[in-house]
């Protein structure tokens, strides 16, 4: 079954300031507002184009120009980006009940996360959006009742208020990772952007916040904490109310009622997001993160008291950055993650390229967004399909580092720009006799322009055939002389030069055609290389996973073996101990027996001496001696 028609995006370019203030060489130049832009744009000075100049040692010296909805230069701050891009989207979500989406796309380290989440000093688009949202809704904010939850939840979501959520997560999420109010940056201010929500004050709003990530092409809930190894991937499917549009099911959604609660939930989501250190960024996002704010507009019917719920969603997406394994210096898990990231971004590139060419050409080709979870989510899930009276409001901010990786940045601009053109600069021609005087050079440039000798590959060039007559006129006016003052020799020479120029022009065109063909082949070869790189990455990943499983199995067997040996060893030791104990017991018994024998012997000796004594006494009595008397006499002796 065919899904809904995917949408197209407004595409902005944001350049990041240099990493350090030293004079780094940059390859991007922002062009002044162009006359082809609307009058309004020229007045407000909106810049929409950049050119990219390859480094001098690069294979191709083609200078390319890319057009965007607007280009934000290095000096633009978070407030500028918010005011120009995000505030209008929020206005559409809050005031008109439309769905909106904001995503950042770029090479790793180019400033995607900085734009979306800011840093310790400055807020990002998410914090500023939440601030505007709660300021605008102020006392209209409410919680959904149980029956309302049932009414609007058919995606198996687990909906709860912020207090319940915080008590559930504090046992899992380390407490110091949950932000405290005094740790939130409050700048830049969002003062001018409060939106007036239409309708009577009886209309209430509930805000549901969910955060999930696409990691290795699987969707994981970032608000449902669980052990990384046992994380359960969520399903992306159609539900009763979503029709043929798929939605992420089984998400935990938190009803937030103020900025503080929302920022705490955001903190938990960020704590659980997959990050890693790469050679290009010390805290690189290893997943695509989706922050979703669902606005439920509750309107009570005066007739039957029932509540009508209208929904609009604002989705903020922080995409992981594309990277070259060589630059990112990744290995193992990081390399496999990088493979998945690059693959999903390659599919996104294809879809974007097709959707922007659709915008400029007017026809609607099929966009292959079903190739990955990321493109499916970005192109269909984040909001309801557009209709004639409800066009989508979706923006992609492409972030670029003008002093970063030239190849990766140029590739990124190529597939995200709304329009592009290129110029192949040629080595400058020598003026006859090498005398390049001021008038000589202006004469030359006049020839070049008049005869269409420029490197442009666009269709600006007029027909290269120029009559000798007009060439003579052009030269005479360039020299500021009347035509009649030019000698016949000069006229002949101009005609000759003009013919040579025409031939050179044809040769140049031919060479240019061949160059374009060669470039096309190089592009195709690059795409093929990328595809092969993806395949190899996948094979390496699978191979590695298999090896790890095998190693785990071997290790397990070794451990079991070791445990068995340990057991036998312990048994033996026990036996020995028992024996020793028994032997010790025997020795003790023997000692005790000897003691008893000794004691018995002593007793027997005493017994026999007593018996002797008794015998002696008996004998004395028999002799008439009284032993008692003898004793008394003995006593008297003392």
On whether the CB atoms of residues 444 and 93 are closer than 8 A, the answer is no
* Residue placing its CB nearer to ligand ATP in the complex, 128 or 497: 128
* Residue placing its CB nearer to ligand ATP in the complex, 16 or 502: 16
Site for ligand ATP in 395-434 (CB under 6 A): 399
276: contact with ligand ATP by CB under 6 A: no
* Residue placing its CB nearer to ligand ATP in the complex, 330 or 384: 330
* HSE-up (13 A, CA, CB side) for residue 544: 13
Q: How far is the CB of 538 from ligand ATP (least distance, A)?
A: 21
Output the CA torsion sign for 616, 620, 626, 631.
negative
339: contact with ligand ATP by CB under 6 A: no
Q: How far is the CB of 226 from ligand ATP (least distance, A)?
A: 23
Q: Which three-class secondary structure string do you get for 519-579?
A: HHHHHHHHHHHHHHHHHHHHHHHHHHHHHHHHHHHHHHHHHHHHHHHHHHHHHHHHHHHHH
* Residue placing its CB nearer to ligand ATP in the complex, 285 or 424: 285
253: contact with ligand ATP by CB under 6 A: no
284: contact with ligand ATP by CB under 6 A: yes
What is d(CA 170, CA 52) in angstroms, rounded to the nearest whole number? 49
Q: Which of 10, 49, 67, 108 binds ligand ATP (CB under 6 A)?
A: 108
How far is it between the farthest Cα atoms of the chain? 192
Q: Which three-class secondary structure string do you get for 407-469?
A: HHHHHHHHHHCCEEEEECCCCCCCCHHHCCCHHHHHHHHHHHHHCCCCCECCCCCCCCCCCHH
Output the CA torsion sign for 16, 21, 26, 29.
positive
* Residue placing its CB nearer to ligand ATP in the complex, 104 or 315: 104
Pairing of strands 204-215, 288-300: antiparallel
What is d(CA 104, CA 319) in angstroms, rounded to the nearest whole number? 6
On whether the CB atoms of residues 394 and 100 are closer than 8 A, the answer is yes
274: contact with ligand ATP by CB under 6 A: no
Distances (CA, A) of 199 to 202, 257, 308: 8, 20, 14
* Residue placing its CB nearer to ligand ATP in the complex, 108 or 330: 108
Q: Considering only the stretches 154-162, 228-236, 281-289, 305-313, report the one whose residues sit in contact with ligand ATP under the rule CB under 6 A.
A: 281-289
Q: Which of 7, 62, 112, 296 binds ligand ATP (CB under 6 A)?
A: 112
Q: Which of 47, 114, 334, 373 binds ligand ATP (CB under 6 A)?
A: 114
On whether the CB atoms of residues 157 and 211 are closer than 8 A, the answer is no
320: contact with ligand ATP by CB under 6 A: yes
Q: How far is the CB of 114 from ligand ATP (least distance, A)?
A: 3
* Residue placing its CB nearer to ligand ATP in the complex, 117 or 293: 117
Q: How far is the CB of 42 from ligand ATP (least distance, A)?
A: 26
342: contact with ligand ATP by CB under 6 A: no
Q: Which of 113, 411, 424, 457 binds ligand ATP (CB under 6 A)?
A: 113
Site for ligand ATP in 88-107 (CB under 6 A): 106
What is d(CA 66, CA 422) in angstroms, rounded to the nearest whole number? 9
Q: How far is the CB of 105 from ligand ATP (least distance, A)?
A: 9
Q: CB neighbours (10 Å) of residue 370? A: 14
Q: Which of 92, 109, 338, 404 binds ligand ATP (CB under 6 A)?
A: 109
What is d(CA 306, CA 221) in angstroms, rounded to the nearest whole number? 33
Site for ligand ATP in 12-51 (CB under 6 A): 16-17
The number of residues that bind ligand ATP (CB under 6 A) is 17
What is d(CA 207, CA 296) in angstroms, rounded to the nearest whole number? 6
119: contact with ligand ATP by CB under 6 A: yes
* Residue placing its CB nearer to ligand ATP in the complex, 120 or 240: 120
338: contact with ligand ATP by CB under 6 A: no
Interface residues toward ligand ATP, by CB under 6 A: 16-17, 106, 108-114, 119, 281, 284-285, 320-321, 399
């Amino acid at each position: 079954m065919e899904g809904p028609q995917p949408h197209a995006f407004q595409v902005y370019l944001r350049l990041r300031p240099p990493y350090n203030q030293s004079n780094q060489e940059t390859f991007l130049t922002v062009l002044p507002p162009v006359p082809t832009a609307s009058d309004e744009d020229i007045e407000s000075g909106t810049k929409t184009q950049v050119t990219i100049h390859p480094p001098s040692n690069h294979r191709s010296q083609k200078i390319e120009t890319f057009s965007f909805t607007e280009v934000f230069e290095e000096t633009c701050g978070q407030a500028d980006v918010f005011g120009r891009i995000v505030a209008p989207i929020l206005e559409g979500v809050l005031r008109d009940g439309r769905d909106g989406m904001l995503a950042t796309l770029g090479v790793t380290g180019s400033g995607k996360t900085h734009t979306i989440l800011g840093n310790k000093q400055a807020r990002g688009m998410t914090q500023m959006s939440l601030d505007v949202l709660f300021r605008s809704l102020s006392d209209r904010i409410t919680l959904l009742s149980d029956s309302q939850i049932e009414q609007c939840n058919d995606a198996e979501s687990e909906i709860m208020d912020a207090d319940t959520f915080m008590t559930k997560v504090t046992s899992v999420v380390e407490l110091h990772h949950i932000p405290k109010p005094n740790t939130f940056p409050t700048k830049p201010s969002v003062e001018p952007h409060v939106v007036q929500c239409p309708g009577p004050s009886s209309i209430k709003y509930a805000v549901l916040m969910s955060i999930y990530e696409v990691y290795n092409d699987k969707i994981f809930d970032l608000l449902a904490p669980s052990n990384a190894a046992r994380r359960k991937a969520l399903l992306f499917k159609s539900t009763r109310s979503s029709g043929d549009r798929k939605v992420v099911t089984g998400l935990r959604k938190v009803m937030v009622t103020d900025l503080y609660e929302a920022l705490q939930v955001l903190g938990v989501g960020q704590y659980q997001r997959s990050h890693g250190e790469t050679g290009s960024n010390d805290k690189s996002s290893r997943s695509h993160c989706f922050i979703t704010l669902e606005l439920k507009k509750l309107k009570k019917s005066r007739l039957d008291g029932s509540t009508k719920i209208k929904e609009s969603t604002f989705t903020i997406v922080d995409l992981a950055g594309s990277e070259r394994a060589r630059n990112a210096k990744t290995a193992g898990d990081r390399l496999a993650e990088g493979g998945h990231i690059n693959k999903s971004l390659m599919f996104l590139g294809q879809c974007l390229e097709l959707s922007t060419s659709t915008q400029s050409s007017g026809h609607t080709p099929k966009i292959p967004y079903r190739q990955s979870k990321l493109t499916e989510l970005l192109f269909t899930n984040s909001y309801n399909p557009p209709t004639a009276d409800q066009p989508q409001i979706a923006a992609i901010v492409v972030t670029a580092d003008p002093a970063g990786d030239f190849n990766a940045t140029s590739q990124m601009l190529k597939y995200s720009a709304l329009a592009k053109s290129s110029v192949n600069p040629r080595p400058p021609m020598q003026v006859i006799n090498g005398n390049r005087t001021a008038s000589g050079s202006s004469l030359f440039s006049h020839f070049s322009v008049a005869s269409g000798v420029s490197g442009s590959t666009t269709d600006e060039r007029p027909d290269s055939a120029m009559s000798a007559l007009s060439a003579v006129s052009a030269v005479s006016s360039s020299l500021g002389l009347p035509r009649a003052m030019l000698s016949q020799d000069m006229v002949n020479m101009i005609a000759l030069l003009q013919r040579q120029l025409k031939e050179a022009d044809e040769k140049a065109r031919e060479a240019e055609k061949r160059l374009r063909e060669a470039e096309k082949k190089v592009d195709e070869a690059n795409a093929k290389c990328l595809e092969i790189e993806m395949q190899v990455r996948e094979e390496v990943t699978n191979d590695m996973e298999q090896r790890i499983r095998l190693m785990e199995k071997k290790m397990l067997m070794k451990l079991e073996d070791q445990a068995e040996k340990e057991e036998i060893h312990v048994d033996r030791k026990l036996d020995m101990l028992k024996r020793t104990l028994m032997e010790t017991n025997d020795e003790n018994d023997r000692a005790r027996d000897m003691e008893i024998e000794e004691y018995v012997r002593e007793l027997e000796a005493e017994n026999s001496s007593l018996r002797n004594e008794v015998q002696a006494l008996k004998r004395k009595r028999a002799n008439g001696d009284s032993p008692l008397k003898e004793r008394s006499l003995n006593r008297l002796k003392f």
